[in-house]
Amino acid sequence: MKSLRVLSIASEIFPLIKVGELADVTGALPISLKAEGVEVRTIIPGYPGVINSLGQVDGVIHLPNFFGAEARLLRATSFELSLFVLDAPHLFARPGNPYVRADGMDWPDNALRFAALARIAADIGLGFVPSFVPDVVHAHDWHGALALAYMHYSDRQRPATVMTVHNLSYQGVFPQEMLAAIDLPPESFAMHGVEYYGRIGFLKAGLYFADRITTVSPTYAREILSDEGGMGLAGLLRERSCDLSGILNGIDISVWDPSTDPHIPGCFYPDVSSGFETEVLHNRAINKAALQRRLGLQVAPDAFMLGIIGHLSSKKGVDLLLENLPTIMREGMQLVVLGNGGSRSLQYRYRTAAQSNPGQVSVMIGHDEGLAHLIQAGADALVVPSRFEPCGLTQLCALRYGTVPIVSRVGGLEDTVVDVDDLATTGGGQTGFKFAPVNAENLGDTIQRACTTFHDVAAWRRIQRNGMSTDVSWRNPARRYADLYGELIEVPQEKVA
């Protein structure tokens, strides 16, 4: 039987180019979908890092004048991923971050850059590459969303379409004057088209034209229907709510595998049925001590150690933890922070906290994959106090590594952690601590609650065991996406009015 073919459109993909968790998803999902009989090929921009690390290139199509200059469409395989790469040096051959310049400002031609990505994706969707004609085109976030509009305004028969929202706060909004430059017809600038509050909305267009919309957790799928959570798009999303669903992310359990993890001194099998005390606890203690030594903290096995991994931004709610720092310090806890980016003022406040509390607080700013693994394998609890969090992946890694998550009750955090005081509704049992509404006082109380439980050795072990036996892999989510694609190609496509 011919497998179902999907063209995925992504602006980043792990391990070739990663800015955020989006890359983890676009990199892992295609591999897991293979087991479901779905063949995914992903179209990505040819940033320098991508071009330099391409594996086998087995096809080149020349595009003599593509969005202002010569470009090429490469067909390649890299790290088990089947790819199309848009090699358009005038748009993508730039150093640094894919989205912003060194000074943190957006690249001024982002509309053109990602319209180009979407345009070539739409062309592939409409049969431009005869050897790969997809049944479904699946766009991730605003960067690929316009493909769905291009296909709508074409006369050719189009494949089914899915639009996945990873984060509604990035919408790709550009001035109306760009319409001709990005090759859209004048009639597209309408409410029933790409127009969005007088400008062109890339994500809006994707949400309007997609056959199905997904987001990365069931709770976030509900939150974005509210005026606050919808960030300007709630009206449209409410109209489309019958076609909207939430599918939780998974993590790549071959990368996040405590039994083989090259970044940690004490490896352990996450199989909790046997050897929990000797295997898991013993090796977690080795990792905790290694972490304390590496970061210059007091080597204190009984100090309750909190970890934070992620952007130091107010979206992530990490300012709320700083407000609780005096109490956390007074109680003799330790805090380990790995902040990859975020606001300058929060980075500064965290650095100052580390300087003022030597031996108890460690703050490292930047990307350090090895340290992220060691924190997951050695800290006692991972704090994720996000103000909004479509899914979040770090709490899933924490569950698998026996680090107990302390999270706000928003988005995917609500869906992936079961509070110790909640009645467990799914098989996994209670796995962590949650708080709402998201404010400093509630976070502080919840950290206290966790710290008290930490000193109740039997109770803490039970929570760790429950977390470690939760299935956080891509197996179930991949099945859900495969089912969704399957449903879509069974029904003949109608054009949106």
Could you list the residues that contact ligand GLC (CB under 6 A)? 20-22, 25, 166-167, 216, 249, 389-393, 412
Q: Do residues 191 and 133 lie in contact, with contact meaning Cβ atoms separated by under 8 Å?
A: no
Distance of closest approach, residue 19 Cβ to ligand GLC, in angstroms: 9
Residue number, 22 or 163, with CB nearest to ligand GLC: 22
Q: Taking phi first (over 0 means left), then psi (-120 to 50 degrees means alpha), and beta for anything else, what does residue 216 get?
A: alpha
Q: What is the CA radius of gyration of the chain?
A: 23
Q: Do residues 306 and 381 lie in contact, with contact meaning Cβ atoms separated by under 8 Å?
A: yes
Distance of closest approach, residue 280 Cβ to ligand GLC, in angstroms: 26
Distance of closest approach, residue 263 Cβ to ligand GLC, in angstroms: 21
379 vs 392: CA distance, rounded Å: 18
Residues in contact with 157: Cβ distance below 8 Å, sequence separation at least 6, in sequence order: 126, 493
Q: Do residues 484 and 477 lie in contact, with contact meaning Cβ atoms separated by under 8 Å?
A: no
Distance of closest approach, residue 133 Cβ to ligand GLC, in angstroms: 27
Residue number, 266 or 412, with CB nearest to ligand GLC: 412
Q: How many helices (H) and strands (E) does the chain have?
A: 19, 18
Bridge-based pairing of strands 199-201 and 195-196 is: antiparallel
Q: Which of 467, 412, 481, 398 is nearest to 31 (CA)?
A: 481
288 vs 263: CA distance, rounded Å: 13
294 vs 325: CA distance, rounded Å: 22
Residue number, 206 or 266, with CB nearest to ligand GLC: 206
Residue number, 313 or 442, with CB nearest to ligand GLC: 313
Residue number, 161 or 215, with CB nearest to ligand GLC: 215
Distance of closest approach, residue 389 Cβ to ligand GLC, in angstroms: 5
Bridge-based pairing of strands 81-87 and 69-78 is: antiparallel
Residue number, 20 or 359, with CB nearest to ligand GLC: 20
Three state DSSP letters for 75-122: EEEECCEEEEEEECHHHHCCCCCCCECCCCCECCCHHHHHHHHHHHHH
Residue number, 167 or 466, with CB nearest to ligand GLC: 167
Distance of closest approach, residue 21 Cβ to ligand GLC, in angstroms: 4
Residue number, 162 or 216, with CB nearest to ligand GLC: 216
Residue number, 215 or 357, with CB nearest to ligand GLC: 215
Residue number, 73 or 393, with CB nearest to ligand GLC: 393
44 vs 54: CA distance, rounded Å: 12
Q: How far is CA 12 from the centre of its chain?
A: 11
Q: How far is CA 374 from the centre of its chain?
A: 20
Distance of closest approach, residue 139 Cβ to ligand GLC, in angstroms: 13
* Helix ranges (DSSP H) in 249-343: 282-295, 318-323, 325-330
Distance of closest approach, residue 313 Cβ to ligand GLC, in angstroms: 10
Distance of closest approach, residue 387 Cβ to ligand GLC, in angstroms: 11
Distance of closest approach, residue 129 Cβ to ligand GLC, in angstroms: 27
Distance of closest approach, residue 70 Cβ to ligand GLC, in angstroms: 34
Reduced to 3 states (helix: H, G, I; strand: E, B; else coil), residue 97 is coil
Q: How far is CA 16 from the centre of its chain?
A: 15
Distance of closest approach, residue 6 Cβ to ligand GLC, in angstroms: 17
Distance of closest approach, residue 106 Cβ to ligand GLC, in angstroms: 17
321-351 as b/e: b if 16+ CB within 10 A: bbebbeebbeeebbbbbbbbbbbeebbebbb
Structure tokens at 77: 């395989």
Residue number, 279 or 319, with CB nearest to ligand GLC: 319
- C-alpha dist (Å) from residue 171 to 140, 167, 176, 217: 12, 9, 15, 19
Q: Do residues 379 and 288 lie in contact, with contact meaning Cβ atoms separated by under 8 Å?
A: yes
Residue number, 210 or 272, with CB nearest to ligand GLC: 210
Q: Which of 165, 169, 172, 111 is nearest to 139 (CA)?
A: 165
Reduced to 3 states (helix: H, G, I; strand: E, B; else coil), residue 7 is strand
Residue number, 10 or 88, with CB nearest to ligand GLC: 10
